[in-house]
Copies of this chain bind each other. A is one copy, B any other.
Amino acid sequence: MARIIDGRKIAESVHQETASRVEALKQRGILPKLLFTRVGEDPASKVYVGMKERMSARLGILSETVVLPDETTEAELLKKIAGWNCDEEIHGILVQAPLPSHIRESVIFSNVSPEKDVDGFHPVNVGKLVLGDPTGFVPCTPGGVIELLKAENITTKGADAVVLGRGAIVGKPMTALLSQKGPTGNATVTLCHSLTSNIEERCRQADIIIAAMGVAEFVRGSMIKSGATVIDVGVNRIADASAKSGSRLVGDVAFQEALEVAGAITPNPGGVGPMTIAMLMRNTVLAAERLTA
């Protein structure tokens, strides 16, 4: 029976450290501020931004949310961002994805000032992460996974890790972080995706599985080596007639099966999710510290 990794508890210890850094900034007369923007009324975006606003408030970080209408053009959004980039009272800028299809996310993300890019999506921050340059911002979800592994004393050095999913937000930076030199890296990483052969067998050989494919309950118990660490990044909505809403959220891991085989496993919710927000808050304080150093 696997140890369940308590993401909420680990996130809480990150928050405590963040709150004390907020306090130190305030003592210097600096109020860290995070600017959220979303375009249109995507329901999931509303939920996510709301959660981040509440956590900001709890930690003493000022936040402001700018909601733009669905018909906002790319040029209009870029103009807004240019203004926030120059606004000295704003330390972090978060453009909530998804954006409407007429706005190119890559153009938007690469026009947020890298110094305020607390999501870590700007190419220069992605590049710094890959190059092992610590002056950038690590994207929140893979950064949060690393913190979970660290808090649980899970050895990455020499471990065989399988990353499922090659997305820009999780899979690729996760691969870079686990591969790089240093106490939370030095793993041998195989980056798997929809065209990977023998994916079940690869998972069965892994000491660490990071599931970020976006396929509901893809990782079955039979795909996990006894004692392996399983980190579930997925959030998938599936039909469930017994639920009031007619659907429910599940991860990329079949949790009950995995629990029997794994050595340590994140629940979902309550695993990676709280860490993502914790890293966002920490990045915001880091941005404020750097911008006012």
Which residues of A pack against B, CB within 8 Å?
106, 110, 122-128, 130-133, 136, 157-158, 160, 166, 168, 172-173, 175-176, 179-181, 186, 188-193, 195-197, 202
**One of B188, B191, B196 near A193 (C-beta < 8 A):** B188
Contact assessment for A197 and B190 in the assembled complex, using a CB-CB cutoff below 8 Å = no
Partner of A130, one of B126, B192, B196: B126
Closest to A133 in B: B106
Verify A195–B188 contact, CB threshold 8 A.
yes
Complex Cα–Cα for A168 and B176 (A):
11
20 contacts between A and B (CB under 8 A): A123-B123, A123-B124, A123-B125, A123-B128, A123-B131, A123-B136, A126-B127, A130-B172, A130-B173, A130-B176, A131-B172, A157-B195, A158-B196, A160-B197, A166-B181, A175-B175, A175-B179, A179-B191, A186-B193, A186-B195
Q: Would A127 and B133 be within 8 Å (CB), given that A176-B172, A180-B166, A195-B188 are in contact?
A: no
Chain A, interface SS category: mixed
Copies of this chain, count? 2
B106 touches A168 (CB 8 A): no
Q: A280: shortest Cβ distance to chain B, in Å?
A: 19
Known pairs A166-B180, A175-B175; A127 contacts B123 (CB<8 A): yes
Q: Which of B130, B180, B190, B193 contacts A127 (CB 8 A)?
A: B130
CA distance A84 to B132 in the complex (A): 27
* Cβ-neighbour of A179 out of B125, B131, B166, B179 (below 8 A): B166
**Shortest beta-carbon distance from A26 to chain B in Å:** 32
A188 and B197 alpha carbons, distance in the complex (Å): 8
Question: Which residues of the partner chain B approach A176 to less than 8 Å between Cβ atoms?
Answer: 130, 172
Q: Which residues of B contact A125 (CB under 8 A)?
A: 123, 127
Taken together as a complex, chains A and B put the C-alpha atoms of A181 and B193 apart, in Å, by 10
Question: Which B residues lie within 8 Å of A191 (CB)?
Answer: 175, 179, 188-189, 191
Residues of B within 8 A of A133 (CB): 106, 110, 123
Shortest beta-carbon distance from A205 to chain B in Å: 10
- 7 interchain residue pairs of minimum CB distance: A123-B127, A127-B127, A126-B127, A190-B190, A188-B196, A124-B124, A123-B128
